Chains A and B, each alone.
Chain A
Amino acid sequence: MNIIGPDALVFGVDDIAACTEYLTEFGLKPIDVTDKGGFFEALDGTGVEIRHRDDPSLPTPLPTPTMLRQQVYGVQSTEDLDAIETELSKDRRVTRLADGSLETTDVFDFALKFQVTKRRELVMEAEKINAPGAPAGRAPNELGIYPGMPALPRTLSHTVLFVPDQQKGAEWYVERLGFVITDILVPAGPFLRPKANDDHHTLFFIQTPEYMKGIEHLAFHMGGPTELMVAGSRLARKGFQSFWGPGRHKFGSNWFWYFNSPLGTHFEYDADMDKHDDSWVARQAPMSPQGTQMFLFEWRKRWSPGPGPEGITEGEDTPE
Chain B
Amino acid sequence: MSVEVTLPPLCRAKDVAEGQTLGCTVPGQRRKVIVMRHRGALHGWLDACPHYAGGTPMAWKKNEYLNGAGTHLTCHAHGALFDPETGECVAGACLGKRLTRVELRLETDGTVRLAKALEGGKTE
Residue ID in chain A nearest B95 by CB atoms: A211
**Smallest CB separation, A208 vs chain B (Å):** 8
In the assembled complex, A266 has its CB within 8 A of some CB on chain B? yes
Among the stretches A11-19, A136-144, A218-226, the one at the interface with B is: A11-19
Is A18 a contact of B64 with CB atoms below 8 Å? yes
Which residues does chain A contribute within 8 Å of B58, judged by CB atoms?
A: 241, 260
Given A14-B69, A262-B76, is A212 in contact with B60 using a C-beta cutoff of 8 Å?
no
**Smallest CB separation, B35 vs chain A (Å):** 17
User: Which residues of chain A (244-277) have a CB below 8 Å from chain B?
Assistant: 259-262, 264-266
Is A65 a contact of B81 with CB atoms below 8 Å? yes
Is B78 a contact of A265 with CB atoms below 8 Å? yes
In the assembled complex, A295 has its CB within 8 A of some CB on chain B? no
1/0 contact string of A154-195 vs chain B (CB within 8 Å): 000000001000000000000000000000000000000000
Which residues does chain A contribute within 8 Å of B79, judged by CB atoms?
A: 65-67, 214, 264-265
Which residues does chain A contribute within 8 Å of B81, judged by CB atoms?
A: 65
In the assembled complex, A303 has its CB within 8 A of some CB on chain B? no
User: Which residues of chain A (1-57) have a CB below 8 Å from chain B?
Assistant: 13-15, 18, 22
Which residues does chain B contribute within 8 Å of A289, judged by CB atoms?
A: none
Contact of B68 among A14, A65, A211, A265 (CB under 8 A): A14
Contact of A264 among B57, B69, B78, B95 (CB under 8 A): B78
Contact of B60 among A65, A66, A260 (CB under 8 A): A260
Is A264 a contact of B68 with CB atoms below 8 Å? no
Is B60 a contact of A261 with CB atoms below 8 Å? yes
Contact of A15 among B56, B63, B68, B95 (CB under 8 A): B68
1/0 contact string of A59-88 vs chain B (CB within 8 Å): 000001111000000000000000000000
Docked pose: A212 CA to B68 CA in angstroms: 20
In the assembled complex, B80 has its CB within 8 A of some CB on chain A? yes
Docked pose: A66 CA to B61 CA in angstroms: 19
Residue ID in chain A nearest B69 by CB atoms: A14
Given A14-B67, A14-B69, A240-B60, is A65 in contact with B77 using a C-beta cutoff of 8 Å?
no
Docked pose: A216 CA to B81 CA in angstroms: 15
Task: Specify the main secondary structure of chain B where it touches its partner.
Answer: loop
User: Which residues of chain A (81-134) have a CB below 8 Å from chain B?
Assistant: none
Docked pose: A238 CA to B63 CA in angstroms: 12
Is B76 a contact of A241 with CB atoms below 8 Å? yes
Given A14-B69, A15-B68, is A241 in contact with B57 using a C-beta cutoff of 8 Å?
yes
In the assembled complex, B62 has its CB within 8 A of some CB on chain A? yes
In the assembled complex, B121 has its CB within 8 A of some CB on chain A? no
Is A262 a contact of B80 with CB atoms below 8 Å? no
Residue ID in chain B nearest A22 by CB atoms: B60
Docked pose: A8 CA to B77 CA in angstroms: 20
In the assembled complex, A243 has its CB within 8 A of some CB on chain B? yes
In the assembled complex, B92 has its CB within 8 A of some CB on chain A? yes
Is A65 a contact of B80 with CB atoms below 8 Å? yes
User: Which residues of chain B (32-81) have a CB below 8 Å from chain A?
Assistant: 56-64, 67-69, 75-81
Which residues does chain B contribute within 8 Å of A315, judged by CB atoms?
A: none
Give A residues with C-beta under 8 Å from B.
Answer: 13-15, 18, 22, 64-67, 162, 208, 211-212, 214, 216, 238-243, 259-262, 264-266
Q: Give 25 pairs: A residue, B residue, CB < 8 Å, sorted on A.
A: A14-B68, A15-B67, A18-B60, A18-B68, A64-B91, A65-B79, A65-B81, A214-B78, A216-B78, A239-B61, A240-B61, A241-B58, A241-B60, A241-B61, A243-B56, A243-B57, A260-B58, A260-B75, A260-B76, A262-B60, A262-B64, A262-B68, A262-B76, A265-B78, A265-B79
Taking A214-B79, A261-B76, A264-B76 as known contacts, 16 extra A-B pairs with beta carbons closer than 8 A to each other, sorted by chain A number, are A64-B91, A64-B92, A65-B91, A212-B93, A214-B78, A239-B62, A240-B60, A240-B61, A241-B57, A242-B57, A243-B57, A259-B60, A260-B58, A260-B77, A262-B64, A265-B79
